[in-house]
Chain A
Amino acid sequence: MYKIAVLGDYDSIYGFKALGLSVFPASDYATGERILKNLVENDYAVIYITESLASGMKKIIDKYKEALTPAIILIPGVSGNTGEGVNGVKGSVEQAVGSDILFSQS
């Protein structure tokens, strides 16, 4: 049985608590990394991270990219959308095809 976690600054994520997801507030990257490592070991299959927090934790997030679990998904925080999540999708296309043939015009 797996669980779902939400990681980010408190203001962006407290609403998920009501839905029954596990919420882990992290204000800086070091805390974020520590919590993320902890979550991976504890049966969290899906981990949502706010884009602003994830921007400083690319290295560790990339490490789990090819593994089946956890799926680390970026979501926009309360401070706004940085476009990092959309870039991630474009990055996948670029990795697979060699250049972004699907979304380069938009």
Chain B
Amino acid sequence: MANKVTNPTRMELTRLKKKLVTAVRGHKLLKDKRDELMRQFLDLARENMALRLKVEEGIKAANTNFVIAKAGMSEQTLHSALMAPKQEVSLELSTKNIMSVDIPQFEYKTKSADANDIYSYGFAFTTGDLDDAVKSLSDVFSEMLKLAEIEKSCQMLAAEIERTRRRVNALEYVIIPETQEGIRYITMKLDENERSTQVRLMKVKDMMLEEAHHYSERA
């Protein structure tokens, strides 16, 4: 760029040329990375939306069931029924690498294998509605976990795509043109220097001939 001072030297020229090669190569690579990230992201985003709608639907149904269950018995009974859960869930976290973005993969483990351990209460004082409510929530749970995994991946990919896009644009519209301009400037300046040296030499030769033979070549 015009406002940037570049030393018109051969060393600087070599440096700029090397920089241009790197920038062009980097630009190509980042562009490929962006395209691939985008492809993966769009697939994930679609899946994310579908899963979210499904999970929201499921939770809504479960909530309705819980309201009904709550209506059928006293609050104290309900609270004491859910006070000491038998089941316990823990997560294993592994990561998957998509284009140098580490996205999480969750795998959940329940403390006991028995599916009926979600009912942490005696059946004598609770209504059947509570069983239904707990069951409906438990049904949607594995999808909720899948949603967590995919939504997190989406958020991370989106951030990475934004960053990559900025880098691609910075290279394409700033770094590469700037370097090319610098190279052009130095080449011009060096050529100009060479021409002026040539003229000076010719002039000196003229003067020396004049001194030795006392005649002017120009005449």
Contacts and interface: CB of A to CB of B under 8 A. Distances in A.
A19 to B, nearest CB: 6
Given A45-B106, A89-B49, A95 B89 contact: no
Contact of A20 (B56, B78, B118): B118
Interface in A80-103: 81, 85-86, 88-89, 92-93, 95-97, 102-103
Interface string A1-21: 111100000001011111111
B30 interface: no
B200 interface: no
A66 interface: yes
Contacts of B66: 14-15, 78
B55 to A, nearest CB: 7
Interface string A66-82: 10110101011110010
Nearest to B151: A73
A37 interface: no
B172 to A, nearest CB: 16
B110 to A, nearest CB: 7
Contacts of A24: none
Contacts of A95: 158-159, 161-162
A73 B82 CA distance: 23
Interface residues of A, number: 38
A68 B137 contact: no
B144 A66 contact: no
B60 A81 contact: yes
B93 A45 contact: yes
Contact-residue bracket for chain B: 35 or more
Interface SS of chain B = helix
Interface in B119-164: 119-120, 133-134, 137-138, 141, 144-145, 147-149, 151-152, 154-159, 161-162
Interface string B19-58: 0000000000000000000100110011011001101100
Interface SS of chain A = mixed
Contacts of B111: 20
Contacts of A48: 144, 148
Interface in A1-54: 1-4, 12, 14-21, 45-46, 48
Given A73-B144, A89-B49, 12 more contacts: A2-B90, A3-B90, A4-B91, A17-B82, A19-B141, A45-B104, A68-B152, A75-B59, A86-B53, A86-B56, A95-B159, A102-B45
12 contacts: A1-B90, A17-B85, A18-B118, A18-B119, A19-B134, A19-B138, A19-B141, A46-B148, A68-B156, A71-B106, A75-B56, A92-B154
Interface of B: 38, 41-42, 45-46, 48-49, 52-53, 55-56, 59-60, 62-63, 66-67, 78-79, 82, 85-93, 95, 102, 104, 106, 108, 110-111, 118-120, 133-134, 137-138, 141, 144-145, 147-149, 151-152, 154-159, 161-162
